[in-house]
Each structure stands twice: as structure tokens, then as C-alpha cells.
Amino acid sequence: MIGILGAGSLGRLWGAMLPNGCVAFVARPGETTDSSLDYRFRPFEGPESSIQIPFLRTGDTPDLMLVTTKAGDTLSAVAGVIDQLPFDTPILLFQNGLGSQQSVAERWPERPILAASTTEGANRPEPGLLVHAGTGDTWVGPLTDQARFSVDRAVAMLEDSGLAIHREPAILQRLWQKLIINAGINPYTAILNCPNGDILSAGLYQDTIEELCRELSELMSAAVQITETPDSLRQRIEQVAQNTAGNTSSMRADVLRKRQTEIDFINGYLAKLGKELGIDTPVNQMLTERVQQLSSH
């Protein structure tokens, strides 16, 4: 049995893709557990179907716990369930950005805490409908020492979904590569309120991207010893912005829906890390503050 903590877009995608009868959602605090969560599922290809997933009941002991809450909710969500989990149940964190994963791993270093980086895309354009908007890859790797023995087990269980799952011993480096892309696209789309591709011609982007990439290159080298020139980072960011030109980024979507963004775990994380490492990060700081101002109104 696989437990899913966070029945949002990504959690429901795993709920729909994993074999029926093998998954259960963790109810939010105060939510009733005697019914199931029902929704329509529109797969990337093929016809829509109805999905019915039960809630985990007191005493159920999942073999794997997927955590698909937003980064800002993750530490408290895990804290709310961890005492009911067997000590050897792998806990697999799916958050974008960085910071939330380390908080969980540092709080429970003796537990098997893993992280995933995924390029699957899921959204909920209307209540009760989950759309698998883009297929991609999911990499899984260990955060705590204890988790090294759980990666194979977690990957084998997730492979039953039919999605592309890979082992990734260097998961922190992999998360950094995604962080670079999110840091170079998401805040601009939120501030400019535009689809990903439109940032490239905007003054704010053109005036700051060179300096941003200098900050990203220095931070990545200091934090995880990956050396990549600012120019090469910029090319990667712009390639993704072009490939996803018509998309609304997750951060723009959060601002439009008046939800909390993940800025503190993307550019905010980088600005904080810069302070700790003595690296100046004025552009990450400026982007963080501007996005924070958007969501506080």
C-alpha cells in the first residue's frame, strides 16, 4: 500500500496512475476518512475515467509514503503523520525548489527520507477533474543515510504506475538543475503575469537575466560543486521558456488563484543561501520580494 500525503494535482496523478487498490490518500487534519476521494481523470492520451481512492485509516501502515504537498506545507504535513508511520517506511518528497526537503531530512535524520524530481505535469482546471497535462520523467534518490537502502524499493513500487521512474543517487544535484530553471522562469512569469515564452522579450527579464545567471552559477558551484557558466545556464532557461512558451507557470497560477507561491523555496532559498555563503544575490532578492508583494495583496 502506498500512502499519498497531499491530494492535490500531483498527488491525484499518482493516485490515478498507480494500480487500483494499492493507494490511499492521507486525510487533511480534521477531514473524515470513511468515504473515498472521487475524481475524473483525463490521461495524457486516451479517454477520461473515474477514479476512486480510499483514505488511509488509523492503523494502516503504508509501505511507502509520497508527500505531494506544496513546499511551504511539507514540514508540518509530515510532522502530522510521522508518528503513525512504521520507522522503516520510506518518505518520498516531491516538492519543487529546495529547502523543504532539507528541513524534513534534518528533523528526522534517522528515517528513510527520499526526494524526487519530476517533470510530469498535472493540473485541475475545474473541481473534480485531474488532467495529466504532460508526460516526463521522475528521478528518485536518498536524502538521509537511512534512505539509501529504500531507493530500489520505492522505484519498484512507483514503476507500477507505468510512468518513467529512474534511480538518482545524486538527487540534490538533480533538484538544483530544476531549481535553476524555476528560478529563471517562474518569478518573471508571476511578476509580468504572462506565459513562459513572453518573459524573453520583457525589459525586466532582459535587464536582469545576465546578473541572475551569474548568481545562479556561483551559488550552484559553491553548494553542490556543479560548474556551469552563466551563459550556459541562460541558454538552458531560455530553451525551456521557448519549449513551454504557451504555459502558465506554477507560480503565475498560484498568484492568479491567490494561493501561496513557492518563491521562498526557489529564489528566496537562493537569496538565503547567498547570505550564508557570502555570495551577493541582489537579483534573487529583488525577484523574491516582488513575488512576495504580489501574494500579500
Candidates 64, 90, 96, 141; binder of ligand NAD (CB under 6 A) is 96
Grid-cell match 529546495, residue found:
98
268: phi then psi, degrees, rounded to nearest 5: -65, -40
Give the amino acid at 23.
Answer: V
Candidates 2, 3, 7, 294; binder of ligand NAD (CB under 6 A) is 7
Nearest in space to 213 (alpha carbons), one of 231, 199, 197: 231
Q: Tell me how far CA of residue 105 lies from CA of 115, 144, 146, 241, 288, in angstroms.
A: 10, 6, 10, 32, 25
Candidates 26, 251, 271, 291; binder of ligand NAD (CB under 6 A) is 26
Candidates 117, 118, 182, 284; binder of ligand KPL (CB under 6 A) is 182
8 A C-beta contact, residue 164 and residue 138: yes
- The reply to whether 138 sits near ligand KPL by the rule CB under 6 A is no
Q: In the complex, what is the shortest distance from the CB of residue 218 to ligand KPL, in angstroms, rounded to a whole number? A: 22
Active site residues: 178
- The reply to whether 240 sits near ligand KPL by the rule CB under 6 A is yes
- The reply to whether 4 sits near ligand KPL by the rule CB under 6 A is no
How far is the first Cα of the chain from the last one, in angstroms, to the nearest whole number?
Answer: 42
Which 8-state DSSP code applies to residue 48?
A: -
Residue 125 CA to chain centroid, in angstroms? 19
CB under 5 to 8 A by kind: which of ligand NAD, ligand KPL, none does 182 bind? ligand KPL
Q: Which residues contact 59 (CB under 8 A, 6 or more apart)?
A: none
Binding residues (CB under 6 A) for ligand NAD: these are 5-11, 26, 28, 68-71, 73, 77, 80, 94-96, 118, 120-122, 250, 262
Binding residues (CB under 6 A) for ligand KPL: these are 96, 181-182, 185-186, 196, 240, 244, 247, 249-250
